[in-house]
Amino acid sequence: PVIVIAETDNTVKKIILTYNEALSKTQLRSTDFQINGESKSLVVNISNNKITLDLSNTITDNEIKISYSGTSLIKDLRGNPAASFSNVLVKNNRDTVPPTFKGLGAFPPPNVVIRILYSEKLDRFSTPALKDFSIVTEEGTFNPIDIRVGSEFDETVIGDLAGNPAPAVTDLTLP
């Protein structure tokens, strides 16, 4: 078996090694792989002609190189071992395009929740700060009391500090 391409997913938390033929389901050890010269905490999975290395942390380096020592042997279905390799350049598929604003809506009446729609899924673990948002209504400016990030939208719950619903929104300032 020969490596055809080594690449990351768009989150850079996985490295996918694609081979030119199907591989046997050999138990591979994480210690057989090095990323940028270091052993990393990872889980190794084989499916058809792909080996996926699931990393516990995102790789932050722009240039990524992977090495395989061959001690647990990657094999094809006929039992032929793949050669070890050193410092193979990994195609970095990091998503570098920021999400773009698509629209917003207020749900349910009386405009308690504002959904801000973006062009792609957002990272639910990086919630923006409340101070980054302001909501302008006919009755004044309100600050959100809570922000929750969903799958394809940034959901901002608004209201005054007493929890009363805000009036109809006429403008929204985004971070």
| Per-residue model confidence (pLDDT) at position 174 | 52
Please write the tens of the pLDDT for every residue from 89-146.
Answer: 999 998 787 777 777 766 655 556 677 777 777 766 677 777 777 777 777 777 777 7
Give the residue among 55, 5, 9 at the shortest CA–CA distance from 35.
Answer: 55
User: Which residues are CB-contacts of 146 (< 8 A; sequence separation ≥ 6)?
Assistant: 130, 156, 157
pTM of the predicted protein model: 0.65
CA 59 to CA 97: how far, in whole Å?
A: 17
Indicate whether 85 pLDDT > 60: yes
Indicate whether 67 pLDDT > 60: yes
Q: Please give the full DSSP string across 59-98, using - where no structure is assigned.
A: ---SSEEEEE--SS--BBTT-PBPPPEEEEEEB-----SP
